[in-house]
Amino acid sequence: MPIDDNHKPIPGSVITVRVLGVPVRLHFTFVLLLVFLLFIGVGQRQSGLMTVLYVLALFASVLLHEFGHTLVARRYGIRTVEIVMFPIGGVSRLEREPKPREELWIALAGPLVNLLIAAGLLAWLGAQQGFVSLAQLREPTDANLAERVALGNLVLCMFNLLPAYPMDGGRILRSFLALRKPEEEATRIAAGAGQGLAIVMGLAGLLWGNFMLIFVALFVYLGAAHTGVTARGRILTTGFPVHAAMITDFRTLQHGDTIRDAGNLLLATSQHDFPVMHGEAVVGLLSRSALVRAMMTEGPEGYVAGAMDREFTRLSPDQPLQEVLPRVSAPGGCALVLDPEGKLVGLLTSENLSEFLLLRQVSMAQARHAH
């Protein structure tokens, strides 16, 4: 499924390879799943070699699904930042939000690849030996490997076409809705449909005792909630620069100040993050969590220079707010806003960003009611 996000790699990746210039990362949970599938496959009627081939074939099918998204996105001039393989599928992270018509074809490309793989395998099997019954596929054997790979691709195709945002089917639904409704409303409806479907899947999993279905439902629900919030945030910030939401009334620390000085400033203000200066130059950022850690380890007489973060996020005041949203929106997120000469002109924190989004949402609602 294609996801639009910031350009930082998704945490938890343990193996990275490049395919057609795109980083493909294996999440540690995906590696655990591969090991588990190999473990349960060994010792049954299927040989160890065929078990490995089956797992690799499913892995290749998911990867080709994601490259279907990648190649169509590339046709529209949208670069794929990375592909991350998770236990229930892959995620293609795009550098920008596609337009509704672009999103439709990008989302369709992945399931279409799986459908073509299944059709090709079934056509080959029909020409070679005929088809076996579904009952025979319940028991994995060396002889029915190709049939099970074809069936797996059909399942991948149908599963991804479920109208559950952010899956492919949910993105197709949103692209159709966005042709007639505002993008924010289309996203809200598609995300709501995804969460509703996830609840139904979760209840079915509980009734049938199917823990895999419950796990998938949880993934879909959290994905729909997170992606829906992220997409709405992008919509609400479109057309606004960073300086429209940044804090301009703030306090700073000097690199020679002590942890005691920083603690006193924390208590005296409502500010949680403090730029650390060396004269007029910004040299670091001291967060509340870093301050507390330093108080416990170094004591009140320690210096903020030893506790501050020197690799803080820097933003330009004219930078589009939509682009920096993922870098600051996480709880506790903070960035320093510097002008072209390197002078500190503001802070952008997750708290004031949330307040900006709230005011924008109210403003947009009032504008809709007025019309």
Shared domain for 262 and 281, answered yes or no, is yes
Last residue of a domain, one of 161, 188, 207: 161
| Residue bearing the bigger pLDDT, 138 or 110 | 110
Give 257-288 pLDDT, tens digit per residue: 999 999 999 999 989 999 999 988 999 999 99
Give 184-242 pLDDT, tens digit per residue: 778 888 888 888 888 998 999 899 888 878 877 887 887 777 777 777 787 788 889 99
The reported pTM is 0.67
Tokens (6 digits) for 86: 């998770």
Q: What is the DSSP letter of 243?
A: G
Q: How many other β-carbons are positioned within 10 Å of the β-carbon of residue 261?
A: 16
Shared domain for 71 and 141, answered yes or no, is yes
- With respect to residue 320, please indicate whether it lies within any of the assigned structural domains: yes
Shared domain for 299 and 234, answered yes or no, is no
Determine the structural domain holding residue 292 and report its residue range.
Answer: 242-360
- With respect to residue 135, please indicate whether it lies within any of the assigned structural domains: yes
- With respect to residue 331, please indicate whether it lies within any of the assigned structural domains: yes
Q: Write the CB contacts of 244 (distance below 8 Å, at least 6 apart in sequence).
A: 321, 356
Average pLDDT over residues 147-158: 90
Shared domain for 206 and 332, answered yes or no, is no
- With respect to residue 370, please indicate whether it lies within any of the assigned structural domains: no
| Structural domains in the chain (count) | 3
Backbone angles phi, psi at 368, to 5 degrees: -65, -40
Shared domain for 232 and 263, answered yes or no, is no
Last residue of a domain, one of 238, 257, 275: 238
Last residue of a domain, one of 110, 133, 161: 161
Q: Residue 340: give its domain's CATH number.
A: 3.10.580.10
Question: Quick check: 253 and 276 in contact, CB under 8 A?
Answer: yes
Q: Which of 40-49, 164-173, 272-281, 316-325 has the lowest mean pLDDT?
A: 40-49
Shared domain for 50 and 144, answered yes or no, is yes
**Strand, helix or coil for residue 27:** strand
| Residue bearing the bigger pLDDT, 6 or 281 | 281
Shared domain for 140 and 268, answered yes or no, is no
Shared domain for 208 and 148, answered yes or no, is no
